Amino acid sequence: MRGEIRTYPARGTKERAELVARLADRAKFIRLETVRLAEIPGAGHYTGTFSAAELIASLYYAELRYRPDEPGWPERDRLVLSKGHAAIGLYPVLADVGFFDHRLLDDYTRLGSAFGDHPDMRKITGVDFSSGSLGHGLSVSTGMALAGRIHGLGYRVFCVAGDGELGEGQMWEAAMSAGQFGLGSLVCVVDRNGLSIDGPTEEIMGIEPLADKFASFRWDVQRIDGHDLDAILDAYDRLEPPGRGRPQVIIADTVKGRGVRRMEGDVGWHVGRLAGADYDEVIAEIRAGLQPLTAGGHDA
Amino acid sequence: MPDHSVRPAPPEAPQASPGQNLSGLFRGTDEAQALKDPKSGKGIALTSVPAFVAGAELADLADTNDRIVVLTADLAHANRTIDFGIRHPDRFFNVGVAEQNMISIAAGMASTGLIPYAATFAAYAALLACEQIRTDCAYTGMPVRILGHHAGMSLGFYGTSHHSLEDLGIMRTIAELTVVCAADANQLRAILRASLSHPGPMYIRMGRGRDPQVYAEPPADFQIGRATRLREGTDLAIITTGSEVHPSLAAAERLAATGIGVRVIDMHTIHPLDTGEILAAAQQAGAVLTVEEHNVAGGLGSAVAETLADAGVAARFRRLGVPGVHVVLGPPAALYAHYQLDAAGIESAARQLLAGFGRPT
């Protein structure tokens, strides 16, 4: 069983406000580092990383149990970044929490670097599983969760999945098997930013009603605003103990490109590059923090 | 247009009644008589070899190794992994008809220190779940063991959808993936035992589970990556693997009866390849025949040809396999005869090779 059930400070308390402020700052850090690193190769998956910034920050700075000084700790919670193209936002976090020296990131994507567009577990301490090929992560996470049962360990496995990759049949094979095996230790966090490469998911290949789909595969479902850190923490608090017999999904409604106005909801920025003056503007905008959504935004 | 030029295959040998020796049904019975133990020289009695032994063998190994887990995709009875499931139910997982999910689940399990064995038809392991094997098992270095059974065309009249005549070609090009073929139940036991301490992922190719016996017992000297020389001879070297080891030995016996000495090499490991054994065979015999239940393109024959070409070693050479076609319909024994992959066919191919080489025929 899980060693501790983490209950976050109640809303309205000073401790809660401090925690949320800290997570907001780290989400900002993820966006800033993404912009910085993407300049090295001259291209980056900005928008799918920005949509997941609050999710990644809240997982690594609040929810996950791990030991940077003992990366192989058998009882650690696992995180599988099924949407591996958000790795550019994961690397700075892994360095920041102490898995490796942040200066290693200066070689991002350069010849021989450990850090590419998608994460490699054999090269990067703290990466629980390699990813990049969409649709695999939930199966891998299911395997880790089954293994936890075999080992008698109470860790949780968090799978951070994109919404576009829910078009892969393997995601639903995994969802079906996790329901069948009753994997209460498995949590899938769907970054529901609404856009895949070619356009809105509901125009390209619709995946709604998503909550109903997961529920029909025998999952417990929560649906939240994936940029609202209070809502995210509440969702983590509502997770049933891992020993319970149903996998759990948090569908996080997000905005692709959130935090940089010109990118918000813009399908053209899935992979892109900032130039000159734009770069400085974007940095300033990120530093200012999340602003009310523009017309292109998801829930505008 | 469909090709109707092929004559219908002869009917399968008569079915055995319960309890009857089944071993002769799936290869010509004549070749069985000729077999001798390569070491002792004694005749091998072709007793009925149990169907799939992997489930039982892994169950035995798991009695003393708690890292072993077994997965299958709705084939627990067909491949007898149920024998493992009965003895170790907590470490047995049937994922239903979802091969890609099975391979990736196995990879996730392996990341926690387990050694997963994932069993399904070779066609669906190597072709349907190819990318999961490459990306989740090989790229990550996870010690997943993929048991691809009913390989080649051993599913006979089930047809091309169920055949895997491409798997060796695909699997051997995947970096850091070890590819091994089992010739019979005893060699499979040896492979499974060796797999416990083998680093990285493995693709283990198996037949239909009714393979005639080649090895009287699990070979104690079995080593992944080191070919097994089963027979000595100086006129020709047959390099073969998996299901074709048995008929190749039978063909060698027939050739020996007419004065042609044949070295038979069981190249059980396709990747990494025992190139030293290949080059020695070519240099010492001067003629090399490769025999495999696989398309001639991409498999063992191609790997041997690459080895000879890279080393600049010249030898009379022929690849015997399925000639790049979707095989005609028929029961397994008829198919092996049709494509010259039974003892008579191999003997014939060998004589043709040598006839063009100024050797006795």
CB atoms within 10 A of CB A136: 30
Q: Which of A265, A259, A188, A254 is nearest to A219 (CA)?
A: A188
| Tens of pLDDT, residues B187-201 | 999 999 999 999 999
Tokens at B98, concatenated: 């979802």
**B104, A136: Cβ pair inside 8 Å?**
yes
Q: How confident is the model at residue A293 (pLDDT cuts 50, 70, 90)?
A: confident
Q: What pLDDT sits at residue B46?
A: 41
Place of tokens 């696989």: B294
Q: Which residues of A touch B98 (CB under 8 A)?
A: 170, 173, 176-177
| Tens of pLDDT, residues B116-149 | 999 999 999 999 999 999 999 999 999 999 999 9
Provide CB contacts within 8 A for B306, sequence distance 6+.
Answer: none
**Segment of A45-54, A271-280, B38-47 carrying the highest mean pLDDT:** A45-54
Return the CATH superfamily for domain B54-205: Thiamin diphosphate (ThDP)-binding fold, Pyr/PP domains (3.40.50.970)
How close B237 gets to chain A, by Cα (Å)?
41
Element (H, E) at B160: none
Residue A183 phi/psi, 5-degree rounding, is -90, 85
Query: DSSP secondary structure string, A159-203?
Result: EEEESGGGGSHHHHHHHHHHHHHT-TTEEEEEEE-SEETTEEHHH
Q: What pLDDT sits at residue B22?
A: 36
3-state secondary structure (DSSP) of residue A295: coil
Q: Which residues of B touch A143 (CB under 8 A)?
A: 104-111, 116
Q: Is residue A119 within 8 Å of A85, Cβ to Cβ?
A: no
The ipTM, to two decimals, is: 0.95
Across the interface, of B98, B108, B139, the residue whose CB is closest to A140 is: B108
Give the distance, in angstroms, between the CA of residue A271 and the centroid of all CA atoms in the same chain. 18
3-state secondary structure (DSSP) of residue B96: coil
Q: Is residue A119 within 8 Å of A87, Cβ to Cβ?
A: yes
Mutate to test the interface with B, among A81, A146, A155, A168 (most CBs of B within 10 A): A146
| Tens of pLDDT, residues A157-193 | 999 999 999 999 999 999 999 999 999 999 999 999 9
Residues of chain B with pLDDT under 70: 1-51, 357-361
Distance CA A161, CA A168 (A): 11
Chain A interface includes B136 (CB < 8 A): yes
Query: DSSP secondary structure string, A228-256?
Result: -HHHHHHHHHHPPPTTSSS-EEEEEE--T
| Tens of pLDDT, residues B149-164 | 999 999 999 999 999 9
Chain B interface includes A142 (CB < 8 A): yes
Chain A interface includes B128 (CB < 8 A): no
3-state secondary structure (DSSP) of residue B44: coil
Give percent helix, percent strand, percent coil of chain A, each to the nearest 5.
45, 10, 45
Distance CA B177, CA B133 (A): 9
**Beta strands B316-322 and B262-266: pairing type?**
unpaired
Q: Which residues of B303-317 are buried (b: 16+ CB within 10 A; e: fewer)?
A: bbbebbeeeebebbb
Of the options 3.20.20.140, 3.40.50.970, 3.40.50.920, 3.90.340.10, the CATH number for the domain spanning B28-46+223-355:
3.40.50.920
Query: DSSP secondary structure string, B189-217?
Result: HHHHHHHTT--S-EEEE---S-PPPS-SS
Distance CA A257, CA A259 (A): 6
Give me the residues paired with residue B271 across strands: B179
Q: What pLDDT sits at residue A274?
A: 85
Mutate to test the interface with B, among A77, A122, A139 (most CBs of B within 10 A): A139
Q: Is residue B188 within 8 Å of B182, Cβ to Cβ?
A: yes
| Tens of pLDDT, residues A145-154 | 999 999 999 9
Averaged pLDDT, A7-22: 96
Domain boundaries, chain B: 28-46+223-355, 54-205
Place of tokens 């970096």: B175
3-state secondary structure (DSSP) of residue B299: coil
Give the distance, in angstroms, between the CA of residue B267 and the centroid of all CA atoms in the same chain. 9
More confident residue, A294 or A188: A188
Query: DSSP secondary structure string, A1-14?
Result: --S----PPPTTSH
Q: Which of B102, B72, B190, B206 is nearest to B149 (CA)?
A: B206
Mutate to test the interface with B, among A153, A170, A176, A217 (most CBs of B within 10 A): A170
Q: What pLDDT sits at residue B6?
A: 41
Tokens at B274, concatenated: 């025992």
Across the interface, of A130, A144, A181, the residue whose CB is closest to B112 is: A144
Q: Which residues of B touch A120 (CB under 8 A)?
A: 139
Give chain A's domains with CATH numbers: 14-287 (3.40.50.970)
**A147, B112: Cβ pair inside 8 Å?**
yes
Q: Which residues of A touch B91 (CB under 8 A)?
A: 150
Chain A interface includes B107 (CB < 8 A): yes
Q: What pLDDT sits at residue B326?
A: 96
**B101, A170: Cβ pair inside 8 Å?**
yes
Give me the residues paired with residue B202 across strands: B145, B178
**A129, B140: Cβ pair inside 8 Å?**
yes
Q: Which residues of A11-23 are buried (b: 16+ CB within 10 A; e: fewer)?
A: eeeeebeebbeeb
Chain B interface includes A173 (CB < 8 A): yes
How close A55 gets to chain B, by Cα (Å)?
22
Query: Does the bond joining A209 to the residue before it have cis omega, within 30 degrees of 0?
Result: yes
Chain B interface includes A188 (CB < 8 A): no
Alpha helical stretches, state H, chain B:
29-34, 54-62, 82-87, 99-110, 122, 130-132, 167-171, 185-195, 245-257, 275-285, 300-311, 332-338, 343-355
Fold match between domain B28-46+223-355 and domain B54-205:
yes
Q: Which of A177, A46, A165, A41 is nearest to A115 (CA)?
A: A41
Averaged pLDDT, A91-95: 98
